[in-house]
Structure 1
Amino acid sequence: MLIGVLNSVFGMHLTILAASGRTGLALTRQALERGHVVTAIARDPSRITLDHPNLSKVAGDVSAPLSIDADSVVLSGLGTDRAGVLLDGAKAVVAAGPRRIIWLGAYGTGASADAAGEGAAVLWKVMGDRIPDKIAADNAVLAAGGTVFHAGLLSDEPSSPGRTVGLDAAPPFDLTAKVSRETVAAAMLDEAETPRFPGAVALPLPA
């Protein structure tokens, strides 16, 4: 608890991947609102539609080696339509050696497949050959002691009260129970400030 209070008061150095995407922008904006110093990485930094004295925008591609401060906590909003990119990104982040990694995954894949139940089959129809890449990327982050957030279907609604649980409290996959990107971003930042699930999968859920 004390670590979380200190991190909130004095700020942390956060590196955010895919910072120009919808989840990445939510992470970046909320991190700045919480008083953190943010390095926002995107292939095209001009698409990061935020400006702040504590914000640095950096061009970068996760398929190449990344220069990340060893004291930084990395938060990833990566999502891709191409198989292989997520694993490349996870390997690049792990190799850079940050203090911690907080990664965004998909509920119903890999470690959360059994907990999701029959609803997880929907993901295979939607994502197809990208799922093995997601699982491999998750495993690389978990092996490095990072936290992987397995989010269900995402919405662009405003942030709403949420809760974060481990796999032991995971509900079945529900196509009607969307969680907003803003709520997911808040949960990931909470984990950055006060680690609860190091080396484990966590689920951001609507309240």
Structure 2
Amino acid sequence: MRITVFGANGPTGRLLTGRALTAGHQVTAVTRQPESFPLHHDRLEVVGADVFDPVAVDAAVAERDAVLSALGVPAGKEPITTYSRGAANIVAAMERHRVRRLVVVSSGAVEPQPYSDGGFLFNRVLLPYVTGVVGKTLYDDMRRMETLIRASDLDWTIVRPSGLYHLPSVTDYTVVEGHADGRFTARVDLAASMLAMLNEDRYVRTTVGVITTSDNPTLFQWIRGEALAKH
């Protein structure tokens, strides 16, 4: 399969690109910084392009079979439009070139709900602070992205992970439609689930949650290793 990966140079995008190559796909990795992209392969094309540039996005989508988006930007107080404007350009290019399959990373935080294992600190303090203060502009733009994608006629799947963290290998992760009652998602599980969705129709035009149910960090470990880290 000929696959284009947007956000290919991020932590999840690199895993996704690597797994797609291992699975035998022809991959176009789109990044604003192609010189820093660490992967090399005969079936890999690294394209330097900005998702805000509709001409560049159009060229990256043409003659492909599927598109995977792992776009990600840091949270901040300034308005964020990367997700919604990027999605608009991706959807327009896919419709123009009749590329049907789209799998996009969003976040469980766009529809925040308490978790059964979250406890008072996570559910009543950290979750509202992250979703309503620190990440407000980011999650607002993710909501705009989701709305735009749902309004398209593509065969889309919106994937909502929980708090992302690192594990060395794929686990027996869980995929559910709608809200996933779990606080953490290993990036390698997120990448594996996205790639697996290309080979099945079960989750077409569906929003799903992906969670990792083993080897989860403690809340303190996650905050120290992920929430406070700079990517």
Q: TM-score if structure 1 supplies the norm length?
A: 0.84
2:20 pairs with one of 8, 18, 31: 31
Q: Which moved more, 1:144-153 or 1:69-78?
A: 69-78
Structure 1 equivalent of residue 5 of structure 2: 16
What stretches of structure 1 of length at least 5 have no aligned partner?
A: 1-11
For residues 115 and 81 of structure 2, the distance between their equivalents in structure 1, rounded to whole angstroms, comes to 24
Q: Which secondary structure does the structure 2 equivalent of 1:136 belong to?
A: helix
Query: Match of 1:104, as an amino acid?
Result: V
Q: Which moved more, 1:145-154 or 1:157-166?
A: 157-166
In 2, are the aligned partners of 1:105 and 1:150 still within 8 Å (CA)?
A: yes
In 2, are the aligned partners of 1:142 and 1:199 still within 8 Å (CA)?
A: yes
Offset at residue 70 of structure 1 (A):
4.6
Offset at residue 170 of structure 1 (A):
2.7
Offset at residue 114 of structure 1 (A):
5.3
1:165 pairs with one of 168, 171, 176: 176
1:62 aligns to 2:39 (yes or no): no
CA distance 1:37–1:90, change in 2 (3 Å)? same
For residues 85 and 154 of structure 1, the distance between their equivalents in structure 2, rounded to whole angstroms, comes to 19
Query: Match of 1:182, as an amino acid?
Result: V
Q: TM-score if structure 2 supplies the norm length?
A: 0.75
Identity, in percent, stands at 27
What stretches of structure 2 of length at least 5 have no aligned partner?
A: 117-122, 214-231
1:79 aligns to 2:72 (yes or no): yes
For residues 50 and 141 of structure 1, the distance between their equivalents in structure 2, rounded to whole angstroms, comes to 29
Q: Which secondary structure does the structure 1 equivalent of 2:198 belong to?
A: helix
Q: Which moved more, 1:135-144 or 1:28-37?
A: 135-144
In 1, are the aligned partners of 2:186 and 2:211 still within 8 Å (CA)?
A: no
In 2, are the aligned partners of 1:107 and 1:116 still within 8 Å (CA)?
A: no
1:180 aligns to 2:186 (yes or no): yes
Structure 2 equivalent of residue 9 of structure 1: none
Q: Which moved more, 1:80-89 or 1:59-68?
A: 80-89
CA RMSD, Structure 1 to Structure 2 (Å): 2.0
Larger radius of gyration: 2
Runs of 4+ in 1 over 6 A off after TM superposition: none
In 2, are the aligned partners of 1:101 and 1:141 still within 8 Å (CA)?
A: no
2:199 pairs with one of 175, 180, 193: 193
1:139 pairs with one of 120, 128, 147: 147
Q: Which secondary structure does the structure 1 equivalent of 2:211 belong to?
A: strand
For residues 93 and 134 of structure 1, the distance between their equivalents in structure 2, rounded to whole angstroms, comes to 15
